Amino acid sequence: MPMLRPTADLAHTLPPHDVHVHLRAAAPRLVTVAHKEALIRAGESYGTLLTPEARPSDAQTRAYHDALSRNGERVGALVAGLTAELLRVYRAPVLVSLARGGTPVGCAVRRVARRWGFDVPHHTLSIIRGLGIDAAALAEVRRLHPAAPLIFLDGWTGKGSIFQTLRASLPTDVPPRLAVLSDPAGVALHAATRDDLLLPHAVLNATVCGLLSRTFVEAPSPLSGPVPPVMHAARIEEALRNDDLTESYLNALDDLSCAYTAEFTLPAAPPRARAPAEVVLRLAADLGVNDPHLIKPSVGEATRVFLRRQPAHLLLRDAGHPDTLHLLEFAQQAGVPVSVQAALPYLAAAVISPGSPL
């Protein structure tokens, strides 16, 4: 097993008492969004390409603060409720957040558990659709906690692709226990809610996740090939250091969840919806798009399409919903057409420009 480099190689701004980051510092292959889409169409893996992040736009910044103000109280309750559920179900669990969307969630859960008197270890590592979970980092986590139940944390689900990747790439003796705050796909074992809602950190990227870039692997790998034998990598988005909100976001989540105790329980989530993504795929087919890799349902996934892919169409369930107003603004700025579909089982779904296999 490759030795892990110390996380000091990555000058991230995640508080070290909140998380152990299992990522290597490496120089990625940097490309523009347009070049990335062309390379993906030519068969390159999404996980080997990285687009440098721009400073958050005014629209992003407004959307982040609006979501924190509007949904913050509920998100605080979701974090507390998820933490309480995990502590009730598992004895001495270990949190393994999926970088990056799950990393702030894992930090927040660890803080709540610590406030309640439970020292719950938290590690964050990479998972890349088409390549799988970072096997080297996972092996290190298991070496550190050989008998502990591992709980994999993420922020939200879309179609459920990451869960499918997790289940397919984990060792057979590691159950794919996925826990999320928002699970509209209905795939997580532990879901604070099955509602599709805008989590504040979905609107930003590195600046709410310790300045970590999206994770990548250095060597080209076939999409269906084996898990790379070396630890996945990230770079620090140094150009965004003055825009970093990581500590303030984690502190806000801490404050929003501080009123709850370990006895807190959330209302029972409704039964898993039956294949909600299939409804989205049918609606997209009516627009002439039949490749499921081009459809990204959920407000979180739709937001990420506008931030780092080439969107071709935006579907909304309700054009006036406050959690999707930022998407309307993004679409207007990008000249992307918008359709309102009352039957949409998610708040939103974005369609990536046709021709891309991801």
The predicted structure's pLDDT at residue 36 = 75
Which among 152, 137, 52 is positioned nearest to 94, based on CA atoms? 152
Q: How far apart are CA 133 and CA 127, in angstroms?
A: 4
- On the question of pLDDT at 309 being above 60, the answer is yes
The predicted structure's pLDDT at residue 219 = 57
Average pLDDT over residues 41-68: 87
The predicted structure's pLDDT at residue 227 = 47
Average pLDDT over residues 125-150: 95
Q: What angle do CA 224, 228, 231 make, to 5 degrees?
A: 145
Q: Write down the CATH superfamily of domain 276-352.
A: Ribosomal protein L30/S12 (3.30.1330.30)
Amino acid making up residue 46: Y
Domain boundaries of the chain, sorted by first residue: 7-257, 276-352
Amino acid making up residue 256: L
Span of 71-80, 168-177, 292-301, 324-333 with lowest mean pLDDT: 292-301
The pLDDT confidence band at residue 28, using thresholds 50, 70 and 90, is confident
Q: How far, in Å, are 3, 92, 103, 136, 148 from residue 143 at the CA level?
A: 12, 15, 21, 11, 10
- On the question of pLDDT at 6 being above 50, the answer is no
Tell me which residue has tokens 């329980």: 265
| SS3 of residue 175 by DSSP | coil
80 vs 1 pLDDT, higher one: 80
Structure tokens at 177: 């226990």
Question: Quick check: do 7-257 and 276-352 share a fold?
Answer: no
- On the question of pLDDT at 345 being above 80, the answer is yes
38 vs 96 pLDDT, higher one: 96
The pLDDT confidence band at residue 5, using thresholds 50, 70 and 90, is very low
Span of 4-18, 69-83, 167-181, 318-332 with lowest mean pLDDT: 4-18
Q: What is the mean pLDDT of the chain?
A: 90
Q: How far, in Å, are 102, 329, 340 from residue 153 at the CA level?
A: 5, 30, 31
Q: How far, in Å, are 117, 169, 181, 256 from residue 190 at the CA level?
A: 22, 20, 8, 21
- On the question of pLDDT at 235 being above 90, the answer is yes
Average pLDDT over residues 332-350: 95
221 vs 52 pLDDT, higher one: 52
Which among 212, 210, 213, 214 is positioned nearest to 250, based on CA atoms? 210
Q: How far apart are CA 221 and CA 249, in angstroms?
A: 35
- On the question of pLDDT at 225 being above 70, the answer is no
Contact of 246 with 208, CB cutoff 8 Å: yes
Amino acid making up residue 232: H
The pLDDT confidence band at residue 61, using thresholds 50, 70 and 90, is very high
Tell me which residue has tokens 């919806």: 273
Structure tokens at 273: 């919806």
- The per-residue pLDDT for range 79-112, each reduced to its tens digit, is 999 999 999 999 999 999 999 999 999 999 999 9
Q: What is the CATH number of domain 7-257?
A: 3.40.50
The pLDDT confidence band at residue 3, using thresholds 50, 70 and 90, is very low
Contact of 320 with 347, CB cutoff 8 Å: no
The predicted structure's pLDDT at residue 41 = 72
Q: How far apart are CA 138 and CA 305, in angstroms?
A: 28
Average pLDDT over residues 212-220: 83
Amino acid making up residue 153: L
The predicted structure's pLDDT at residue 220 = 53
Contact of 327 with 302, CB cutoff 8 Å: yes
For the chain, what percent of residues have pLDDT higher than 70? 92
The phi and psi torsions of 152 (rounded to 5 degrees) equal: -90, 125
Q: What is the dihedral of CA 333, 337, 342, 344, to 10 degrees?
A: -90
Structure tokens at 289: 């798009």
